[in-house]
Amino acid sequence: MLRIKRVPTVVSNYQKDEAEEVAPRAGCGRNCLNECCYEGAKIPLYAFKKLNKISKGLCCEYENTAPPFAFLDSLLLGEWEDRMQRGLFRYDVTACETKVIPGKYGFIAQLNEGRHLKKRPTEFRVDKVLQPFDGNKFNFTKVGQEEILFRFEANENGNTLLIPNAPLDVENSPSMVAINVSPIEYGHVLLIPRIFERLPQRIDRESFLLALHMAAEAGNTYFRLGYNSLGAFATINHLHFQAYYLAVPFPIEKAPTKKTISLNDEVIVSELLKYPVRGLVFEGENTLQALSNAVSDACICLQENNIPYNVLIADCGQRIFLLPQCYAEKQALGEVSAELLDTQVNPAVWEISGHMVLKRKKDYDEASEENAWRLLVEVSLSEERFQEVCALIFEVLDTVDVEGSPSVAKEHSDACLEEVEARNNASQPLQVTGTWECLV
C-alpha cells in the first residue's frame, strides 16, 4: 500500500477523534447538525432571486473601481467577523504574512503556519475520484451550528430576502454556508449543497448551478469559489465548495487563452495558454444555466473517467477554469521530488490558481515565480494526455449540450476520439490506496 503523508488542516472545530470526550449537554453535546441536535434549530435563511441571464455589467474591473456593495457581501462578512470575535477560528488569518511575488504572473505567497496542525488523518483512496459517502468519517452534519452562517437557497416566488431566525427545514435538505475554521483568506467559507442528503464529493448540475448563483449574488470580483475533487486534494467526501475574498487577481485569471469551441453561441470554451497548469476556460454568453450545464457536464465526464480535477469560479460566475491534474498520482508513484514534498504544499484549486499557501517560513522567504512554476508544472497533465482528456470532454459537450448542428472544433476528429477510447480500453487504471493527512 502506498501512503501519501501530508500535514492535516481542520475545517471544523468538531473534526475530532470520536473517542475524544465531550462535556455532556443536549443531544451529543456538540450542538451539531445531526438528528441528535437539530430539533428546533433556527438558522438565518438567505433566499436569493433566481436570475438566469448573465449580466455583463455585474462585476467591476480591478483597475477601474472598487467592488460594488452587495447584500450577500454584507451578510457573509458580517457573520464571518462575528464568528471571529467569538473565537471560533483556530488562528487569525488576517495576521498571516502575504506578498505578491515579483515576476510576470504575480503569484501570491502567504505564510500560514496556523494550518500546520496535527490531527487524525482521514482515509481515502487516492486513485478514485468517485467514492461512496461514509457517515462514519467526518462530514458536515457534524459541524457545530454556531459554525453555520446562513442557509443559501433560491426564492422561487420573489426577490432576495433574509429571514434571520428561520426554522431548520430538514425535509427539504437546505444548502448551508459555514466558516472554514482554518481559513486561507478573509471571508473563507464553505458552501455545502443539500447538506442532509449527505452527497459525496462529486459535481452534479444542481449543485454547480447553486455555486454559480452564489458567485453572481455576491457580485464581487474579489470573491471566488473553488472546488477540489477527490484525488485533487479534497479529503472530506461530503459535497462542498470553498470561497473567499482576495483583493488582487489570481495569476490564472491573467493568463491568455485560445478559443477552442462554441456551444450554440451560449458558452465559449477556450484553452489556457502560457500557464504552468493546462486547463480549459468556460465563459457564459447568455444564461447561467447554459454555462452551468456545460461545466458540470465536463466535470461529470472527468469524474466518470476517474480523472482528478479542480475548478475555479471567477468573475461573478461568468468565467470558470476547469483544471484536470495528476499530482497525487505522481506522489503515489514516487515521481515528485523530495524538495517539493518537503514544502508540504497541497496543490489544490487555490494553489493552482496562483495563491501559494506556504507552511514554512523558509519557503515564504525564498518564494519566487520560478519556485511556484516548478511546483505547478508537476500538477499539470502532459500535453498529450491533456489533449486526450479534452477530446473526451468535447465529445460529451457535443452530445449533451448542443442541440442541432455539431459545435466541436474540427481539430478534435473522430480518429482522435477513437484513439482515446482504444487507449482507455487497453490500459489498466492505477490501483493505489493511500492516506492524505490533510483536509483542504
Predicted local confidence at residue 158, as pLDDT: 78
Q: Quick: pLDDT tens for 346-366.
A: 899 999 999 999 999 999 999
pTM recorded for the entire structure:
0.85
Structural domain tally of the chain? 1
Name the percent of the chain lying above pLDDT 70: 79
Range with the poorest average pLDDT among 100-104, 126-130, 149-153, 401-405: 401-405
Residue 213 falls in the annotated catalytic set: no
At 223-245, the pLDDT tens digits run 999 999 999 999 799 999 999 99
According to the model, what pLDDT value does residue 124 have? Answer: 66
* Given 188, 213, 238, 240, the catalytic residue: 240
**271-293 confidence digits (pLDDT tens):** 999 999 999 999 998 899 999 99
Closest residue by Cα to residue 129 from 235, 210, 204, 208 = 235
Q: Is residue 104, in this structure, part of any structural domain at all?
A: yes
Which residues constitute the domain of residue 356?
A: 45-436
**Who's near 129: CB < 8 A, 6+ residues apart?**
202, 229, 230, 231, 232, 302, 303, 306, 307, 308, 309
Q: Which three cell numbers stand for residue 260?
A: 477552442
**What CATH number is attached to the domain comprising 148?**
3.30.428.70
Per-residue model confidence (pLDDT) at position 55: 64
Residue 238 within a domain: yes
DSSP state at residue 255: S
Q: Residues 369-394: pLDDT tens digits? A: 999 999 999 999 999 999 999 999 99
Residue 21 lies in a domain: no
Ranking 1-10, 61-70, 405-414 by mean pLDDT, the lowest is: 405-414
27 within a domain of the structure (yes/no): no
Side chain identity at residue 297, one-letter code = D
Cα separation, 66 vs 55, in Å, equals 18
Report the mean per-residue pLDDT for the chain: 83
Specify if 7 maps to a domain: no
Residue 78 host element (H or E): helix 71-85
Going by pLDDT thresholds of 50, 70 and 90, the confidence category of residue 16 is low
Predicted pLDDT at 29: 79
Do the beta carbons of residue 97 and residue 402 sit within 8 Å?
no
Strands 241-245 and 223-228: antiparallel
On whether the CB atoms of residues 381 and 391 are closer than 8 A, the answer is no
Average pLDDT rounded to a whole number, residues 301-314? 98
Report yes or no on 13 lying in a domain.
no
